[in-house]
Structure 1
Amino acid sequence: MDVAALKKEIIEYSRTIGIDKIGFASADPFTELKERLYQQQQLGYQSGFEEPDIEKRTNPSLLLPHARSIIAIALAYPSKMKNAPRSTREERRGIFCRASWGQDYHRILRDCLEKLEQFILERVPNAKLKSMVDTGELVDRAVAERAGIGWSGKNCSIITPEFGSYVYLGEMITNIPFPPDTPIEDQCGTCNKCVEMCPTGALVQGGQLNAQRCIAFLTQTKGFIADEFREKIGNRLYGCDTCQLVCPKNKGKDFHLHPEMEPDPEIAKPKLKPLLHLSNREFKEKFGHLSGAWRGKKPIQRNAILALAHYKDETAIDDLLKLLKEDPRPVIRGTAAWALGKIGNKRVIDELKKAKQEEKDEEVIKEIEKGIHMLQEIK
């Protein structure tokens, strides 16, 4: 088998199925990464969404016996929304991060990888292949870096010379010994903008993230958001783009190469108040195709409440009172109570006091007390 010729064929074929960049790497263990991951674990910086077994995350042979190579792929997504609707005083809007615009990228990349697998198996029927996107065991960024897709930026994203960091990543482990590509040299230099501009200080230093403080992570949690982060979430419903938006390497990068990645402006930047009362079925019908919907409607609705508080939106008071009195979920009732205090309309203080008398959940009672306290502070 002429492996170099097969590699060339794969590269040419990848362009016909919508893969914007492809690279090849050895399947050797990621020894430096392994040390870093153990350190992150000890510091409590992990999100908890990762594969818990660090050995599996750093040793491809544990995932595919006799692994010899990894094929890394990248697809570029848009950074600008056409016809973006404006938020008005009467109808405030939230925002999904750019990585959650359009169709769920997991499906898009899996489709590309499946086609790539079929192409390889037609030529090498006994080839062993294992593909993954984001939720797999391997660290996508480490694979992409080794395969020459881009360098690992200080914002903990892969930055490509062509598309900046606006790329989705996926990979395929194989027992075929492809010639590896050369990694790209780090080009962040002395720039430290992402670290300096991170809203919560989640970027501890260039290349080190405390996921527990990261807004992108916090918007995906299901419980109460810690007080110190609530205002900093702003109008974000899912994810955070700050460390990408401030990156000079992303200046002018905006690619519209895949129609399925194009955002529907009314979904990527939806009105906040209608979000509060969606049923599970309505949420699934409207937002189910987004990658940002994977945790269900509760985190999105909680974040919408925080966004209304951020705007101090008095037109949402009746909606929030309805949630406080009727919603069966403590996180929603409690966050609504806090938001009412934050909005600062003193006419609701009696409603909060009444709700406190009727509330049974201790955490919700604390949130109601916070709301009352904020309103009593207003002169």
Structure 2
Amino acid sequence: MIKANQQLKEEIIKFSKEIGIDKIGFASAGVFTGLKERLITQQQLGYQSGFEEPDINKRTNPEQVLPKAKSIIAIALAYPSKLKNAPRSTKEERRGVFCRASWGNDYHDILREKLRQLEAFIIEKEPTAITKSMVDTGELSDRAVAERAGIGWSGKNCAIITPEYGSYVYLGEMITTIPFEPDTPLEDNCGTCNKCVDVCPTGALVQGGQLDSNKCIAFLTQTKGFLAEEYRLKLGNRLYGCDTCQTVCPENKGKDFHLHPEMEPDPEIVKPVLKPLLHISNREFRDKFGSISGSWRGKKPIQRNAIIALAHFKDDSAIPDLLQLIKNDPRPVIRGTAAWAVGRIGNPNYQEALETFKHSEKDEQVLEELDKGISMLQNER
């Protein structure tokens, strides 16, 4: 049967190139035994982010997702790593940044459309076939599937690294009831290089290939609550995601591909001026950022991160905006983070203003942040 499907496999590969899929690979639908063991360990250590599929059996057994699964088709699309005409962050207009994986239109939509086209092609050729596709939020691990299908190797930075495009690729997969000859996994090429582990800002890369998601800046930028103070100073001007473990990777040197117009970033969206973000309405946020994947958690995390970025820059001109947030914003996380930021910026002339806000503030966490801000300003005197 597999030999009989070799021609179909070749036709699928040819069609995938025609519709703009940069890499395609085929894997068996057997249980991901090694992954299951690693996931159990991650769970026991408390290293999971909570965004994953909680059922480990579903994450590691394709037949639990699609009965009678025989093969998995993995795809990869390369995305740009360099921003053309990037606006400069100036003292008057400090800017934040979205990670590269959030540039252009939401990659979930782009890859789902490619997989939809691929499914339609397969069903036309094999009407009895059953397929199930997923991108990022599905049950299976995109990285484990891509590794098994020979798309790339799993790097120490916990990303799939391809020989052609480095780790700057989006991944998706399709489970199918058609048995295909599986492709050969690639040899790990990280060798003794440990740069990504060494430079991880928060030590989230515990060791090569093992990530404590709860310390990862990419994860932290997506949380909605107060950010632990130890991580605020590591955030820099990141609004969403983190690219550090990719930018230091030697395999990514010189890799920059602009193959898909829908992935091209708008510089004013992916590197926006910070202060306007503090007062942006829900509608304005959706209109400006709604098309990128970095908007999926809404404006609150982005605004909190923008406040932290202004504190990182010690932008004195932002203090009136921050005081307005402390006074008027209904969300404790925004009020409290703004109070901390005023203290971090360090202009002692605003100590009295923070002390005044304590009289009307009822939220315990906000009061704690006000105290932190006041303490920092006292130390400036």
- Could you state the TM-score of these two structures normalised by the residue count of structure 1? 1.00
Q: Which amino acid aligns with 1:106?
A: H
Q: Look up the match of 2:365.
A: 363
Q: Deviations over 1:231-286 (max 9, x none)?
A: 10000000000000000000000000000000000000000000110110100000
What SS is found at the alignment partner of 1:276?
Answer: helix
Gaps of 5+ in 2: none
Query: Which of 171, 174, 185 lines up with 1:172 in the alignment?
Result: 174
Shift of 1:347: 1.1
Alignment of 1:280-295 (within 5 A): 280-295=282-297
Is residue 310 of structure 1 aligned with residue 335 of structure 2? no
d(CA) in 2 for partners of 1:284, 1:315? 26
Q: Look up the match of 2:75.
A: 73
Is residue 227 of structure 1 aligned with residue 234 of structure 2? no
d(CA) in 1 for partners of 2:20, 2:237? 33
CA contact (8 A) 2:147 2:186 kept: yes
Q: Which amino acid aligns with 2:187?
A: E
Percent identical residues: 75
Which ranges of 4 or more aligned residues in structure 1 deviate by more than 4 Å? none
Alignment of 1:194-213 (within 5 A): 194-213=196-215
Shift of 1:375: 0.5
d(CA) in 1 for partners of 2:358, 2:246? 42
Shift of 1:154: 0.1
Q: Look up the match of 2:38.
A: 36
Query: Which of 279, 286, 298 lines up with 1:277 in the alignment?
Result: 279
Q: Look up the match of 2:28.
A: 26
Shift of 1:378: 1.2
What SS is found at the alignment partner of 2:185?
Answer: coil
- Could you state the TM-score of these two structures normalised by the residue count of structure 2? 0.99
d(CA) in 2 for partners of 1:43, 1:290? 32
Q: Look up the match of 2:244.
A: 242
Aligned length: 379
What SS is found at the alignment partner of 1:168?
Answer: strand
Shift of 1:357: 1.0
Alignment of 1:1-379 (within 5 A): 2-379=4-381
Q: Which amino acid aligns with 2:307?
A: I
d(CA) in 2 for partners of 1:275, 1:9? 48
d(CA) in 1 for partners of 2:228, 2:319? 22
d(CA) in 2 for partners of 1:18, 1:349? 57
Shift of 1:166: 0.0
RMSD: 0.5
d(CA) in 1 for partners of 2:109, 2:257? 19
What SS is found at the alignment partner of 2:280?
Answer: coil
Q: Which amino acid aligns with 1:163?
A: Y
d(CA) in 2 for partners of 1:309, 1:350? 19
d(CA) in 2 for partners of 1:17, 1:368? 55
Q: Deviations over 1:320-348 (max 9, x none)?
A: 00000000000000000000000001111
What SS is found at the alignment partner of 2:206?
Answer: strand
Gaps of 5+ in 1: none
d(CA) in 2 for partners of 1:363, 1:17? 52
d(CA) in 2 for partners of 1:33, 1:164? 22
d(CA) in 1 for partners of 2:114, 2:366? 46
Q: Which amino acid aligns with 1:143?
A: V
